[in-house]
Amino acid sequence: MLRLDIFSDPICPWCYIGKSLLDRALEGRPNHPFSVEWHPFQLNPEMPATGMDRREYLETKFGGKHQAIEVYARIAEAAQNAGLQINFEAITRTPNTMNAHRLIHWAGLEGHQGAVVSALFRAYFRDGRDIGDAATLAEIAGAAGMDAAATARLLTTDADHDDLFARDIDARKKGLSGVPAFLIAQQYMLNGAQPVATWQQIIDELTETLANTAGDGANIP
């Protein structure tokens, strides 16, 4: 198997779109060589712990209501083309995502990472839920097969906070400035949401290379 390390934030719409496109590609190539792992990257590392009003956030980030509407119209079109429903009107708060990243990390330890990442995206972009809220995160954990009560208890502590913050900082120091970003086999980086056809071409090429090198014990360069 080859590692596919994905840097993402669960409030990033392009990450949601990128995951959907990748999932479709993987479904079309069930024998793909990837072992997927998700990594933290906060779009807003300075966000207050309680988050902030969504309208205020967008107008501040994009320089006004009109600019925000233009940006999100393009995102909505891309989401629709990817077969996703994004209900921007349902989103009333922009959360601090550190606790969501902690949940993603814990889910990875228990083999539920993909399910939790998908659930976080749906909760935020489809249902307009506050994924900075501990009760919401515990519920998502339980629905994905984790222990909801244990997750709720962990969220009252600082468990893994410093480690995840350090991983985020390390990614930035290594040049990562936006997400989604996909690191293939710890060597090749793809930035941005990639079309299904691009992923399938990559998978086909990697599968062929692995098959050709299997006999002589060589590794992918």
Mean pLDDT by 10 residues, the chain (221 residues): 97 98 98 98 96 91 84 94 93 97 98 98 98 98 98 98 98 97 97 98 96 68 48
Residue 90, Cβ neighbours under 10 Å: how many?
13
Residue 71, Cβ neighbours under 10 Å: how many?
14
**Looking at the 3D structure of the chain, how many domains does it have?**
1
Q: In this predicted structure, what is the pLDDT of residue 69? A: 86
Tell me, yes or no, whether 78 lies in a domain: yes
CATH number of the domain that residue 72 is part of: 3.40.30.10
Tell me, yes or no, whether 220 lies in a domain: no
Tell me, yes or no, whether 94 lies in a domain: yes
Tell me, yes or no, whether 221 lies in a domain: no
Tokens of 141: 């954990």
Question: In 135-166, which positions are buried (b, 16+ CB within 10 angstroms) versus exposed (e)?
Answer: ebbbbbbeebebebeebbebbeeeebeeebee
Q: In this predicted structure, what is the pLDDT of residue 58? A: 87
Q: In this predicted structure, what is the pLDDT of residue 220? A: 52
Host domain of residue 180: 2-214
pTM of the model: 0.94
